Chains A and B, each alone.
Chain A
């Protein structure tokens, strides 16, 4: 058995990054502008009335939430689009006939999508820091979480891209599931602000743990235990990994 085909993996990775470069404006600038608009509207206009949360200004409070909102969606859509495109235009023939294991293929697409998300997250953060005073209590952990979360959601995106049969289905999960759950998952408020019954209900939303973890690395406080949160993220990670393994074992919707 020959060794791991890292050159092939890298070829996919670079191909994906160059695809992002071609659509630089849509892929990097648009999310940054959107984030700035959110900050402007929510942070300034509403923030004035809300006052501070968890010891920081409202604008500072929502920045981790905003970054997550973008990261989750971008990871999902970039990764799902990345693998859906070759399926759609047929160029997947080349990837399937190359000496690449399914895991190398997955790692190429997931890695590229995650890289782009990480870059995007850092860019949004830098832009935000420029306007708003925000503490970062645990910068290394913040970076580590950013990588971890981007990766997990890029994996989910990969699964979506493989099982989708149309562009509409590709959009379904990000638009109809992840975005609402992010809004309801404390991107713009602390769940401690909710009445008890809603707070309990919110704990069923997995996104709350993701946002809490990330926000904790900034503020050093979290409404839910950071260990529980990391546990939830890890469960999502393992579930995605298992699904990917199952998909490859069965050749589901990749090979005819």
Chain B
């Protein structure tokens, strides 16, 4: 039997009792060992998606498989594989760091393993805080404890719901290092974030979700190629005839009812395309007011996608 992807979602729908459709037919396959970044504005459905896979929320329809197993019928096997770091800092205020991490391991039916917990706490720079109660920890430390709890049963799939929300710059770098180190240990990681640069630095693939719909899933490399692209915007004096030769020759986008032309080119490529284009415009008697070049960032692609949908 061919090994199935760690997570496969098919036509996943979640409608809350109040009628709100939080997930609207999501299809997604997460690949073994990858870091997948799920981007989307507030209320897009990121947490809902994670909650369904992790058993905190029930799906309305569709299919969720983890390692080829149905998450409801095989909930024990499935949950054993998954570690979850929630978005909110949910903690038992009076538990010590050590106890709360050991408790997590126990919930997963595993025997006590002090050396492992010690290693996890050390990796997260929490060792010196092990006897501290949760109430006395800062927000960033609490987040790290939640990560430690999620790792205590050595999951193969790790969900990080906004791991760097409310975290300072330095800790953010640490967090990134940490996430990379888990990837090296062959852990499949799904993280959500609002920070585009986070997705850019960490992820192998990026998904964009908006209003419950997954509107883009792409390899980061190919997104980066898009990032390497620049757009030249030509503002015309008069509306262009849509059949003008230059449009098809340079593969131009006609915008603003024929008053703007957009030409996308690769900034890394040298060449004379732009001067050729300008000469061609002049030759066809098309006059322009001004020119502008734009660099399309992932942020823009993202905003473009999200705004277009609205």
Q: Does B46 reach chain A (CB closer than 8 Å)?
A: no
> Are A97 and B79 neighbours in the complex by a CB distance under 8 Å?
yes
Instruction: Known contacts A90-B86, A93-B90; decide if A99 and B79 are in contact (CB<8 Å).
Output: yes
> Are A91 and B92 neighbours in the complex by a CB distance under 8 Å?
yes
> Are B84 and A7 neighbours in the complex by a CB distance under 8 Å?
no
Across-interface contacts of B51 in A (CB, < 8 A):
256
Q: Does A189 reach chain B (CB closer than 8 Å)?
A: no
Most B CB within 10 A of own CB, among A6, A8, A18, A93: A93
Q: Does A96 reach chain B (CB closer than 8 Å)?
A: yes
A100-136, CB < 8 A from B: 100-101
Across-interface contacts of B31 in A (CB, < 8 A):
none
> Are A89 and B91 neighbours in the complex by a CB distance under 8 Å?
yes
> Are A7 and B110 neighbours in the complex by a CB distance under 8 Å?
yes
Q: Does A2 reach chain B (CB closer than 8 Å)?
A: yes
Q: What string of 1s and 0s marks CB contacts (under 8 Å) between A84-98 and chain B? A: 000001110111111
> Are B107 and A8 neighbours in the complex by a CB distance under 8 Å?
yes
Across-interface contacts of A96 in B (CB, < 8 A):
54-56
> Are A8 and B109 neighbours in the complex by a CB distance under 8 Å?
yes
Q: Does B139 reach chain A (CB closer than 8 Å)?
A: no
- Bound CA–CA A11/B110 (angstroms): 10
Q: What string of 1s and 0s marks CB contacts (under 8 Å) between B74-93 and chain A? A: 11111110101010101111
> Are B92 and A1 neighbours in the complex by a CB distance under 8 Å?
no
Instruction: Known contacts A1-B76, A8-B107; decide if A97 and B92 are in contact (CB<8 Å).
Output: no
Instruction: Known contacts A7-B106, A97-B84, A98-B108; decide if A255 and B58 are in contact (CB<8 Å).
Output: yes
Tell which of B58, B88, B108 touches A251, judged by Cβ atoms closer than 8 Å: B58
Across-interface contacts of B99 in A (CB, < 8 A):
18
Interface size for B (C-beta < 8 A) is 33
Minimal Cβ-Cβ distance residue in A for B73? A1
Q: Does A49 reach chain B (CB closer than 8 Å)?
A: no
Q: What string of 1s and 0s marks CB contacts (under 8 Å) between B209-220 and chain A? A: 000000000000
Minimal Cβ-Cβ distance residue in A for B89? A90
Across-interface contacts of B55 in A (CB, < 8 A):
96-97, 255
- Bound CA–CA A6/B106 (angstroms): 9
Q: Does A10 reach chain B (CB closer than 8 Å)?
A: yes
- Bound CA–CA A11/B79 (angstroms): 17
Interface size for A (C-beta < 8 A) is 28
Q: Does A188 reach chain B (CB closer than 8 Å)?
A: no
> Are B58 and A93 neighbours in the complex by a CB distance under 8 Å?
no
Across-interface contacts of A11 in B (CB, < 8 A):
103, 106-107
> Are B103 and A93 neighbours in the complex by a CB distance under 8 Å?
no
> Are B107 and A255 neighbours in the complex by a CB distance under 8 Å?
no
Min CB–CB distance B162 → chain A (angstroms): 14
Across-interface contacts of B93 in A (CB, < 8 A):
89
Across-interface contacts of A145 in B (CB, < 8 A):
none
Across-interface contacts of A12 in B (CB, < 8 A):
107
Q: Does B94 reach chain A (CB closer than 8 Å)?
A: yes
Q: What string of 1s and 0s marks CB contacts (under 8 Å) between A1-25 and chain B? A: 1100111101110110010001000
Q: Does B16 reach chain A (CB closer than 8 Å)?
A: yes
Across-interface contacts of B80 in A (CB, < 8 A):
2, 99
Minimal Cβ-Cβ distance residue in A for B57? A256
Q: Does B27 reach chain A (CB closer than 8 Å)?
A: no
Across-interface contacts of B54 in A (CB, < 8 A):
93, 96-97
Instruction: Known contacts A22-B94, A89-B90; decide if A97 and B109 are in contact (CB<8 Å).
Output: no
23 pairs from A and B in contact (CB 8 Å cutoff): A1-B76, A2-B80, A11-B103, A11-B106, A11-B107, A90-B86, A91-B90, A93-B54, A94-B84, A96-B55, A97-B54, A97-B55, A97-B82, A98-B108, A99-B75, A99-B77, A99-B108, A100-B107, A101-B75, A101-B76, A255-B56, A255-B57, A256-B16
**B interface residues, Cβ below 8 angstroms from A:** 16, 51, 54-58, 74-80, 82, 84, 86, 88, 90-94, 99, 103-104, 106-111, 149
